[in-house]
Amino acid sequence: MERRKFVRLAGMSAFAITASGFTLIKENGILKTSCATSTDMLGPFFREGAPRIQDLTYPVSADVLPILVKGRVLGADCQTPLGNIDLDVWHCDHEEEYDMESDDFRCRAKLTTDSEGNYWFKTYIPPPYGGRPKHIHYLIQNIDGYEELVTQLYFKGDRKIKPNNWVKYPWDQKRILDINTNSNGIAEVKLDLYLSPKGKTTNHN
Ligand SMILES: [Fe+2]
């Protein structure tokens, strides 16, 4: 039998802790899953039409090392992988520029998850710009049964990440990632993305 425990907080929110481990949150009458990835700004630099590539690197000086960015896209129960899901990713180049015009679509890609919900791409860690920390943008849209997800990835140790500036809330911490070295000697970060069911908008993870 599924075990549920309800706690009422300040008359506004309620939690239902289920046997499967995730938390349902009811806030202002809207149900949310606790694992859903928190949202972030879309920003002014998204472009439709990015190429379906996984290698976003381009010729730069040899001392700039690539990084592998990978993760999974998962559903509302916080564990079911979502295969064949399209994601847009984009970031600025090493000169702090977003490619808004060229056919190269530099530092932009449309990715598709495999049957296990996995995605990956190879790129460079973008520089900070305009007072913002280093970041990579994500957009997942037009998925049946799920809300659009607009979010950003950050890097742990970035001194531009300060309390109450760009990454404000405890649930945003899951998007500030450690850089690890994988078994092939390549730096990598891992960001799993949890979609929110349609009509149950969330801002928590
Ligand atoms: Fe940006």
DSSP-derived secondary structure for 77-142: TSS-B--S-EEEEE---TTS---SS-TT-TTEEEEE--TTSEEEEEEEPPPP-TTPPP-EEEEE--
pLDDT at 36: 85
Q: What is the pLDDT of residue 120?
A: 98
CATH number assigned to the domain comprising residue 176: 2.60.130.10
How much distance in Å is there from the Cα of 106 to the middle of ligand 1?
A: 14
Both 10 and 110 in a single domain?
Answer: no
Q: Yes or no: say if 122 and 55 are a contact pair by the CB < 8 Å rule.
A: yes
Same domain, 153 and 189: yes
Are 27 and 118 members of one domain?
A: no
Residues 125, 68 share a domain: yes
- Residues 77, 81, 85, 86, Cα dihedral to 10°: 90
| Residues 64 and 30 grouped into a single domain | no
Ligand 1 center to residue 24 CA distance, Å?
A: 31
Q: What is the pLDDT along the chain (205 residues), one digit of tens a residue?
A: 333 333 333 333 344 444 445 566 665 565 566 688 989 999 999 999 999 999 999 998 888 889 999 999 999 788 899 999 999 999 999 999 999 999 999 999 999 999 999 999 999 999 998 888 999 999 999 999 999 999 999 999 998 888 767 676 767 888 999 999 999 999 999 999 999 888 755 444 4
Give the pTM. Answer: 0.83
Q: How far is the CA of 129 from the centre of ligand 1 (A)?
A: 8
Determine the distance separating the centroid of ligand 1 and the alpha carbon of 144, expressed in angstroms.
27
Q: Answer yes or no: is 202 within a domain.
A: no
Residues 11 and 98 reside in one and the same domain: no
The verdict on 12 and 58 lying in the same domain is no
CA of 68 to the centre of ligand 1 (A): 19
- 203 located within any domain: no
Looking at residue 23, its pLDDT comes to 60
* Domain span holding position 56: 37-194
CA atoms within 13 A on the CB side of 202: 29
CA of 100 to the centre of ligand 1 (A): 12
C-alpha dist (Å) from residue 50 to 54, 101, 102, 109, 160: 11, 11, 11, 5, 28
Q: What is the pLDDT of residue 10?
A: 33
